[in-house]
Structure 1
Amino acid sequence: MSRHPRRTFALITAAILLPTLTAASCGDEPSGVGLGIAARGSVAEIVEAPGSVTARAAATVTSPAEGTLADLRVTPGQRVDKGTVLAVIDSPAVADRLADAERGLNAAPSISTGNYVTAGTSTDQRAGKAFDAAREAAAKVTDTDVRAALLAQIDAAEQQYDAASAAAARAVRSVQEGLAGLQRALGALTAAQQLQAKQAYDLAVAADDALTLRAPVAGVVQLGGAPAASGGSLTDLLSAGGATTGQAGATGGLPAAPAAAAPAGADPAIPEGGPVSPGTPIVTVVDVSRLGLTAEVDETDILLVKPGGTATVELDAATGADYRATVRSIDQLPTTSARGGVSYRVRLDLGQGTAEGGGVAPTPRPGMSAVVRLRVREADDAVTVPASAVVDADGKSTVWAVRGGKAERASVTLGVQGEDVVQVTTGLDDGQRIVVSGADQVRAGQELP
């Protein structure tokens, strides 16, 4: 029988066939031909796929600005809640910007009857520079929640200023056209200038607040960034829907600043007082409250896998332990497998394992390699034959049946296919005597005992 090279099957039932008989050598009859019967039993079809353990969520918090790690408030292995302060960055550049904004807020309006025409333009230019600087600073914040909040604040401030600037411009035009008094234009321009100064100050305060790094998710602390696993990224260690920050392409409207790699052999963790740049990884928080799996299933098998299906799992790191898993989802888009073929990622929830001897298996860690055996089809009370009994004849599945003491080729339709036993849906009846081994030595009409 032709078997698929990338699929492994497993039987889930005990002996369902009678013991085979060995035909005695007689004349030109071949020896070593085993006989048995088609019997009823249960069989399961298993798709085997490589996989790895995933975390529920993970987040690498990075420095939003250049400076030093002034205060590291967590230790490796510490469990933290979402929002816990992890570290504080000291950034002279951010401090200088805040001081300049505060001086601008406290300065008296600089608009007079002599410069009211150009005052609006210069105020617009200052506002534009302030918004650009604020967006540049926000782009360096890799916590997606914080970055999104900063960008929303900047957008709202810009819309508010645009409205004030437009009102001031209309007032100036009214004066120039003789339709309004100068004081009205000066008042509108002063209001726009004061609003610009207040917004510049508020944005500088927000940038300063972003220097206090908080945990985006609850979990276990690991200092520094998340190292790549088998050439993968932090995203590869996460279950579907898991959070991740500090990685290129993270959601939030702008790409995150790239994390600076530590020199070979160096500890990636930044010590307290150490220098940091925008995007330098400070702390990674990993949520392991729910572990999962990702399995790479070949395209020829993926249509057999269904959400809610079950699987057994073996880990390279836990020899002798068996884990249970349930299929949660199947990706729609393919990936390129390690063999260069097309595969699809199947995501599973990982259950508790059982150690050899019946004890509780050790708790896996994200990134651990696994062999996932997905149960894709099964049949109960089915007519079954040994897989060795099925032979290919002109592209059709056949079995040598023993009828009237002679070998007769019977075309069969296969259903669920196990490794050792397969289901026959048509072509054979329960109790039919068949050749179960040595089928290549049998010919039509051959007498068999």
Structure 2
Amino acid sequence: MILLAGAALLALGATAASCGDEESAVALGNASRGEVAEVVDAPASVTAKAAATLTSPADGTLAAMRVRPGETVRRGQVLAVIDSPGARQRLAQAKAALDAAKRAGGGFGGGVNLTTVQRNTDKAAAAAFDAARTAAGKIADPQVRGALLAHVDAAEKQYDAAARAAGQAVRAVQRGVAGLSSAVSALSAAQRLQAQQAYDLAKSTVDALTLRAPIPGVVQLGGAASPAGGASAEALAGLLGGANAQLPAGVLTPPSAASGPAAGVDVAVPVGGVVTAGAAILTVVDVSALGLVAEVDETDVLLVSPGLSATVELDAATGATYTGEVRSVDVLPTASARGGVAYRVRLSLGDGQFGDGRDAPAPRPGMSAVVHLQVREAADAVTVPAAAVFSADGRDAVWVVRDGRAERVDVTVGVQGQDLVQIVSGVADGDSVVVRGTDQVTAGQEVP
């Protein structure tokens, strides 16, 4: 914990005593009333409100890019179009199978094994559902992806019900307790349902080839890669650490992004370029409300609570100070950069100013910062220099000089600043205390 004081420094009340030609290591000062503030410093990074990387839902080519890098887009706006002959071919095949199922009208040729028909239908349905889930997992828009997965789940439940009914009908025929027509009708219904669902799922994949902005924001080409080219979940968590960050639900990165591109290679896909399913096409970053994610050490985090004000310094804006306010404190810990245990504290980020009054520039997500959290303060408090307080027998203590002799007094410490410490009990305003050389003083020692 790094502590800063907000009050004026306490002046020494006496000069060091002399012993021969050498200056004594013991010096005195006076306790006095003043203001003291306790500030916790923590490393932090600037975060965007949200970000979403749009990926290709299928193999193909980038047919069109409807926006330019740096352009501000609205939610739902068409950003790019993917041409996927494979996806369109699967849709055409599904449409043909659906038309055939409708034309069949439930008739089977003589000698058809109904159990085999049911097994083949179930196999085709399972393959369609698996393919649909795989395709859905490669769609970046969380709403589109969620809607498609929900549709797959609902379709699978609906088909399972139809398949169970068909199975019961087939078994009833085999036992001789029902006519063949009932089993044929049930199997035909299951086949038509499977064909319809396969068509609907294939069409959803084709519809997803038109990439739309899931959030408003600024466009950049490619994925949200780190400086080294990778886009790990941890790195994105830092980038999107704001209260409304969309991670992981709002951000998808292709599996290959973890290794990153080769040095000097632009990962942006050009128009007409070949893309694979899951390849990052572009990213939308919502910078309408910037925030901060700070890592506060476990020894200090209990002093931090929502609503606490802070000042912020950025490495990229030397001499500028920004305002901040704590929005939340994480419950679960994370490993700190120093190897200990820390907790993420999320803050809103306000405007900044330079020392001469000029407005500071707006930061960018990912920039490094230091957050100064003013966790406690005391006004009109009895204070002593921080060097006057030492530990003895497991308690805080101060050497108080009365009638020229040192007396060890146990004290209760309150707000602790870098230079001043509040004394709640044990020392009164005006008391003479040892402020240097506390380890060289003994009880009853005469102190000039």
Instruction: Give yes or no for contact 1:379–1:416 (8 Å, CA) kept in 2.
Output: yes
Rounded Cα–Cα distance in structure 2 between residues aligned with 1:409 and 1:192? 90
Give the equivalent residue in structure 1 for 2:68: 75
Rounded Cα–Cα distance in structure 1 between residues aligned with 2:385 and 2:409? 15
Give the equivalent residue in structure 1 for 2:383: 384
Rounded Cα–Cα distance in structure 2 between residues aligned with 1:384 and 1:263? 59
Quote the offset at 1:282 in angstroms: 0.7
Q: CA RMSD in A?
A: 2.6
Change (3 A) 1:160 1:446: closer
Q: Which string of whole-angstrom CA distances, capped at 9 and with x for unpartnered residues, describes residues 104-149 of structure 1?
A: 1222326234326243333222222222222222233233322221
Segment drifting more, 165-174 vs 422-431 = 165-174
1:364-443 to structure 2, matched below 5 A, reads 364-439=363-438, 442=441
Match of 2:255 among 254, 258, 261: 258
Rounded Cα–Cα distance in structure 1 between residues aligned with 2:396 and 2:246? 50
Change (3 A) 1:444 1:130: closer
Rounded Cα–Cα distance in structure 1 between residues aligned with 2:179 and 2:444? 117
1:302-321 to structure 2, matched below 5 A, reads 302-321=301-320
Q: Does 1:13 align with 2:7?
A: yes
Instruction: Give yes or no for contact 2:312–2:370 (8 Å, CA) kept in 1.
Output: yes
Instruction: Give yes or no for contact 1:402–1:433 (8 Å, CA) kept in 2.
Output: yes
Instruction: Give yes or no for contact 2:242–2:292 (8 Å, CA) kept in 1.
Output: no
Rounded Cα–Cα distance in structure 1 between residues aligned with 2:12 and 2:21? 25
Runs (5+) with no aligned partner, structure 1:
1-6
1:139-158 to structure 2, matched below 5 A, reads 139-158=137-156
Q: Which string of whole-angstrom CA distances, capped at 9 and with x for unpartnered residues, describes residues 306-350 of structure 1?
A: 222222111111111111211222222222222222222111111
Change (3 A) 1:92 1:433: same
Instruction: Give yes or no for contact 1:141–1:257 (8 Å, CA) kept in 2.
Output: no
Rounded Cα–Cα distance in structure 2 between residues aligned with 1:69 and 1:270? 7
Change (3 A) 1:37 1:165: same
Rounded Cα–Cα distance in structure 1 between residues aligned with 2:409 and 2:99? 97
Give the equivalent residue in structure 2 for 1:205: 203
Match of 1:223 among 221, 224, 238: 221
Which AA in structure 1 matches 2:350?
Answer: G
Quote the offset at 1:24 in angstroms: 5.2
Q: Which string of whole-angstrom CA distances, capped at 9 and with x for unpartnered residues, describes residues 4-29 of structure 1?
A: xxx211111235x3554314536699
Change (3 A) 1:433 1:193: same
Which AA in structure 2 matches 1:38?
Answer: A
Rounded Cα–Cα distance in structure 2 between residues aligned with 1:32 and 1:175? 106
Give the equivalent residue in structure 2 for 1:190: 188
Instruction: Give yes or no for contact 2:55–2:253 (8 Å, CA) kept in 1.
Output: no
Identity, % of aligned positions = 60
Give the equivalent residue in structure 2 for 1:35: 28
Rounded Cα–Cα distance in structure 1 between residues aligned with 2:337 and 2:131? 44
TM-score of the superposed pair, with normalisation by structure 1: 0.89
Give the equivalent residue in structure 2 for 1:290: 289
Partner of 1:366, secondary structure, is coil
TM-score of the superposed pair, with normalisation by structure 2: 0.89
Q: Does 1:235 align with 2:234?
A: no
Give the equivalent residue in structure 2 for 1:334: 333
Give the equivalent residue in structure 1 for 2:93: 100
Which AA in structure 1 matches 2:60?
Answer: G
Give the equivalent residue in structure 2 for 1:3: none
Rounded Cα–Cα distance in structure 1 between residues aligned with 2:34 and 2:414? 13
Quote the offset at 1:69 in angstroms: 0.8
Rounded Cα–Cα distance in structure 2 between residues aligned with 1:59 and 1:367? 15
Change (3 A) 1:189 1:394: closer
Which AA in structure 1 matches 2:283?
Answer: T
Rounded Cα–Cα distance in structure 2 between residues aligned with 1:149 and 1:31? 78
Rounded Cα–Cα distance in structure 1 between residues aligned with 2:443 and 2:193? 98
Rounded Cα–Cα distance in structure 2 between residues aligned with 1:147 and 1:176? 43
Q: Does 1:160 align with 2:158?
A: yes
Quote the offset at 1:53 in angstroms: 0.9
Rounded Cα–Cα distance in structure 2 between residues aligned with 1:99 and 1:183? 31
Which AA in structure 1 matches 2:91?
Answer: L
Which AA in structure 2 matches 1:186?
Answer: V
Partner of 1:388, secondary structure, is helix
Rounded Cα–Cα distance in structure 1 between residues aligned with 2:423 and 2:4? 16
Segment drifting more, 406-415 vs 61-70 = 406-415
Quote the offset at 1:274 in angstroms: 0.6
Segment drifting more, 173-182 vs 306-315 = 173-182
Rounded Cα–Cα distance in structure 2 between residues aligned with 1:172 and 1:88? 46
Instruction: Give yes or no for contact 1:59–1:243 (8 Å, CA) kept in 2.
Output: no
Change (3 A) 1:439 1:28: farther
Instruction: Give yes or no for contact 1:43–1:418 (8 Å, CA) kept in 2.
Output: yes
Rounded Cα–Cα distance in structure 2 between residues aligned with 1:35 and 1:128? 85
Change (3 A) 1:234 1:26: closer
Change (3 A) 1:23 1:235: closer
